[in-house]
Structure 1
Amino acid sequence: MGAWQWGVRVSVIAGIIVLVLLAALIDEPKRGAAEEIVGAHLQLDGASSFWQDIKSLACIPTFLLCICAYAALVFVTGTLTWWEPTIIKHSIAWDLGLNDTQLLPNDKKNK
């Protein structure tokens, strides 16, 4: 069970369990039911300006948190794609007991 493939297998099983639990336990309201509970109603005041839309979005904490989380995700993904080959080379050099990646044999560098 020491192989990396087990992580993929366990993730699929956990995902299926969560999907079944969500389908069984989450009560999805009928369309428009949430608005009736709150007492909200649709207002058609015409078109709003770009800055009014930005201002209304900036007042939603969940939206702002999602934007920050997505920016962090993109940053981390870009950082990993840039630095991961270097980290792998350093790891191989460390395993071989070398102090510098320049000392790696060519067959290990091109792996």
Structure 2
Amino acid sequence: MYLLTGVLIILLGGFSLGSYILNPSKSNTFLALSVFLLSTVQFVFVLEYYFVEIKLLHSFEILFYAIAQYLIFEFVVLEERRKRYHEIKNKSLKIDTNL
């Protein structure tokens, strides 16, 4: 399961970094930050495996994961707003030829 999660984070990281480089926007920044935090969670998980005596690592893992999920939520909300704005703008520009 850990390897599958790692592969998915690599794919999502490549997508988010490419999106951020080609189109730097607020929503793509949120996506890139969330993927960075998710990869940090994986790193903290490995540290927690080797350093069992440090109990604070689990708290950081939970905090980073919660922040990453919130940033993904904000990314989706901003992208849907942008999509709806362009749909409304394109509808208003259409000329009715049935007149």
TM-score, structure 1 normalization: 0.28
**Which structure has the larger Rg over C-alpha atoms?**
1
TM-score, structure 2 normalization: 0.31
Q: Specify which structure has the higher proportion of helix.
A: 2
